[in-house]
Amino acid sequence: MNILGISAFYHDSAACLIIDGKTVSAAQEERFTRKKHDFSFPKNAINYCLQNSGLKSKEIDYIAFYDKPFIKFERILETYITFAPKGIRSFIKAIPLWIKHKIWMKEFIRRELDYEGIILFTEHHESHAASAFFNSPFQESAILTIDGVGEWATTSYGIGKDNNIQILAEIHFPHSLGLLYSAFTYYTGFKVNSGEYKVMGLAPYGEPRYKDLILSELMDLKEDGSFKLNMKYFDYCAGLKMINKRFEKLFGGPPRKPESRLTQKDVDIARSVQDVTEEVMLRMARYIHEKTAKKNLCLAGGVALNCVSNGRILRDGPYKEVWIQPAAGDAGGALGAALFVWYQYLENKRTAQGKRDFQQGSYLGPGFKNDYIKNYLDKNQIPYVYVTDENIPEKIAGLIAEQKVIGWFQGRMEFGPRALGNRSIIGDARSAKMQEIINSKIKFRESFRPFAPAILKERVSDYFEIDRESPYMMFAAPVRKERRKAIKENEKNLFGINKLKVIRSEIPAVTHVDYSARIQTVDEEYNSLFYKLIKKFDEKYGCPVIINTSFNIRGEPIVCTPEESYRCFMRTNMDYLIAGNYLLKKTEQKTLVEDLEKKTGFESN
């Protein structure tokens, strides 16, 4: 039984393939088109899913689409009518795409894929909830989904049991925690639907000076976590902008200009909205626990990518276990829709394995065999040395210790926004300089965020205040006190990026200014080679933690193919690239032919 899941036309289009209930392939369209957050119909991702299993579209039994276009269109129409004639510009802008593709989705899919089989539509939050519960390790769980907006719902909660999910209550548009966060993302000068992660990263620099103002003026937050936004400050219903002049006046001025210098006010704003988000999520989590009496919680929706809030729910919330769909954003909706059809629509049995989830480390994207990589390297006369599987850990661990920056291209690409050790750039987390080196020479950005640590699963509690695995980098937790370093008197009043340069722990490259870290625990079963590498690094150099940052540069999606990894390697100051068993040294490479011709690198934005 083959089920193809699709999400498209909002943000982060994706496709996935479920065969007899098993998630076999999943990938975001952006990785193929090289357009970040690509929301077009995921033709490439679908092709990948089909080809990976040798299937033709007519062999698909069901196609599951992740939302209900008619209901979404109704929301847009109704919102327009409520605010008319305000909003005519955004309405006119949205209409052509709706008429051309979105309303007639069924026909559109049939045409695009030459498909005559059954097409089913799940609701947006149902898809998020399904993606969170069905691939979780739990047989029973509470479910919470939070995002910008689906059809009408912006937040939902429910329960999952066996092969069934049930949504119990929803918060509806325009009241949206995701859109509130996006409004502040815009106000602090970052890109909406993409820069939210930066606001979260910025928050530890600030004080929550505006928290009370947000809670008193912008929203009416109830004890149970439900809320209403005060729409007189927002413009997203009627206009093309998130906020209006009243909002600007309330917070003392216009939004920060993108790329301009960050001020104390910007970081205080970031901290305030982050604190509010944590507060709301915690209240919701507690209330849902009261209502459902479940000991486990599953989370999904774009807001569930906020690993700091997730860490708070884990630490301060009432649940025994929390599992978060790694593709928590709309890409994961494709997966949820397909799983929903398999379990709920077709009533197939589901037996959760307790500890192990069904996400398989989220290594669900394209993989490339050694033959393919060798062929590419030879054809382009790219010098390399072959390293055996057994020798890779020792060789690369040695290079990390020599303070080299290494592109690590192995196995199948990750599904979800985080690189989890298959499309990663790695380096020494103990290094005081590594953070700056990778940011300025590799990623070409000045970042106020530290990198994420990848740590051996069994050692996580030795370094961080967390007592469980975090395989998908979905939880932030503090570095243990014993691993911290005292801050010098003259370093206490530093601001911005300078604050990040202060050595705060034994692993400064992955320690944020509030001592938090976005942890990835690495497990031998999920990712054997990556595990062996870190294990070897620990054995030889006494540290079970390395830097793991995504294999891309600013403005570019994570690399997918060996060709892309080579180009990224060549256009940055990475020292080595290990692709499969082939080790490439930068000093032995010739300049890329296309770069000689064009003399340009990647675009920056």
Residues interacting with Fe ion, by CB under 5 A?
147, 330
Please identify, using beta-carbon distances, which residue of 214 and 305 lies nearer to Fe ion: 305
To Fe ion, the closest distance from the beta carbon of 334 in angstroms equals 11
Query: What are the φ and ψ backbone dihedral angles of 535, each rounded to 5 degrees?
Result: -60, -45
Tell me whether residue 378 is exposed, middle or buried, using C-beta atoms within 10 angstroms of its C-beta: 0 to 12, 13 to 18, 19 or more.
exposed
Backbone angles phi, psi at 28, to 5 degrees: -90, 145
Least Å distance, CB 132 to Fe ion, is 12
Report the nearest approach of Fe ion to the CB of residue 449 (Å): 24
* Residue closer to Fe ion (CB basis): 193 or 422: 193
**Short-list 373, 362, 572, 603, CA closest to 470:** 362
For residue 458, the minimal CB distance to Fe ion (Å) is 35
Min CB(178)–Fe ion separation in Å: 8
Which residue lies nearer to Fe ion by CB, 176 or 272? Answer: 176
Residue 193 or residue 447: which is nearer to Fe ion going by CB?
193
CA separation for the pair 187, 270 (Å, rounded): 9
Q: Is 182 exposed, middle or buried (0-12, 13-18, 19+ CB in 10 A)?
A: buried
**Smallest separation, CB 145 to Fe ion (Å):** 8
C-beta of 146: minimal distance to Fe ion in Å? 9
Pick 146 or 438: Cβ nearer Fe ion:
146
Instruction: Give 140-174 as a DSSP string.
Output: EEEEEEE-S-SSSEEEEEEEEETTEEEEEEEEETT
CB 143 to Fe ion: min, Å? 14
- For residue 216, give the DSSP letter: I
Nearer to Fe ion, 147 or 357 (CB): 147
Q: Write the CB contacts of 334 (distance below 8 Å, at least 6 apart in sequence).
A: 5, 6, 7, 14, 15, 16, 26, 42, 64, 66, 127
Please identify, using beta-carbon distances, which residue of 275 and 330 lies nearer to Fe ion.
Answer: 330
Residue of 364, 405, 359, 330 lying closest to 586 (CA atoms): 405
For residue 102, the 8-state DSSP code is: I
Using alpha carbons, list the distances in angstroms from residue 534 to 9, 403, 408.
39, 15, 13
What is the C-alpha separation between 251 and 210, in angstroms, rounded?
A: 8
Residue 332 or 411: which CB sits closer to Fe ion? Answer: 332
For the bound state, the minimum distance from the C-beta of residue 21 to Fe ion, rounded and expressed in Å, comes to 24
Question: Which helix (DSSP H) or strand (DSSP E) does residue 292 occupy?
Answer: helix 264-292
Measured distance CA(125)–CA(498) in Å, rounded: 41
Residue 179 or residue 579: which is nearer to Fe ion going by CB? Answer: 179
Gap between the Cα atoms of 463 and 30, Å rounded: 35
Considering only CA atoms, which of 479, 537, 474 is closest in space to residue 508? Answer: 479
Q: Which residue is nearest to Fe ion (CB)?
A: 147
Beta pairing partners, 476: 518
